[in-house]
Amino acid sequence: MPVKIRLQRHGKKGKPFYWIVAADARSKRDGKYLEKLGIYNPNTNPATVELNVDGAVTWLQNGAQPTDTAKAILSYKGALLKNHLAGGVRKGALTEEQAEAKFNAWLEEKGSKVVAKSDSLAKAQADAKAKAIEAEKAVNEARTAAAVVEETVEEAPENAVEETVESVVEEAPEAETTTKEATVEETPESKEE
């Protein structure tokens, strides 16, 4: 029976969630499977992968062929490396302790890379949030400054209106007398011509 290690889709539309399974190659994508090996959630950043490495290695040793995506996941979690090291132990090139030491060293290195990526993403998110807060503070300060200017403009026109009304009232009689004199002076000249 040809066995494949592949992804079985779960989750809702637009939010996929996968089970990593060992299944008969002739069964449907979401059909029956032989063993569930883990889960894969691509919706998180970085993607969440939980895998039974020993179970995956057992299936690989029995001849199961991983699909492209499943192979990438097995490589990411170290199942392919562990299978490779187990082959070295079977051939006598390595001892069990040496293989285990190499695998654990690789796991620590890989774990530090994943943690570094998570930290960088968290830092980038915190920086973006800080920039957004600074921008919001600047907008709020501009609004308060504009509100203060509007209040002073509103108070000033009331006083200015009262002053201009008084000055217009005082200037109006003078203006009337000057216009009468100007018309009187112009009128005789026009008659003489």
Task: Round to whole Å and give the CA distance between 90 and 149.
Answer: 84
Same-domain status, 155 and 85 = no
**What pLDDT sits at residue 151?**
80
**What pLDDT sits at residue 36?**
96
Same-domain status, 67 and 131 = no
Same-domain status, 81 and 134 = no
Task: Round to whole Å and give the CA distance between 36 and 22.
Answer: 6
Same-domain status, 139 and 60 = no
Quick check: is 192 in a domain? no
Quick check: is 176 in a domain? yes
**What pLDDT sits at residue 153?**
75
Same-domain status, 81 and 136 = no
Same-domain status, 9 and 80 = yes
How much is the mean pLDDT over the chain? 84
* 16 preceded by a cis bond (ω within 30 of 0): no
pLDDT tens-digit readout, 26-38: 999 888 999 999 9
74 burial (CB, 10 Å; 0-12 / 13-18 / 19+) is buried
**What pLDDT sits at residue 72?**
95
Q: Indicate the residue among 61, 94, 127 that finishes a domain.
A: 94
CB within 8 A of 24, min separation 6: which ones?
Answer: 1, 2, 3, 4, 32, 34
Same-domain status, 31 and 83 = yes
pLDDT tens-digit readout, 46-104: 899 999 999 999 999 999 999 999 999 999 999 999 999 999 999 988 899 999 999 99
| Domains identified in the chain, total number | 2
113-133 per-residue burial string, b: 16 or more CB within 10 A, e: under 16: eeeeeeeeeeeeeeeeeeeee
Work out the angle at residue 49's Cα, subtended by the Cα atoms of residues 48 and 52, and round it to the nearest 5 degrees: 155
Q: Tell me the residue range of the domain where 86 lies.
A: 3-94
Instruction: Tell me the whole-structure pTM to 2 decimals.
Output: 0.65
pLDDT tens-digit readout, 149-190: 888 877 665 555 556 556 555 555 555 555 555 555 555 555
Quick check: is 112 in a domain? no
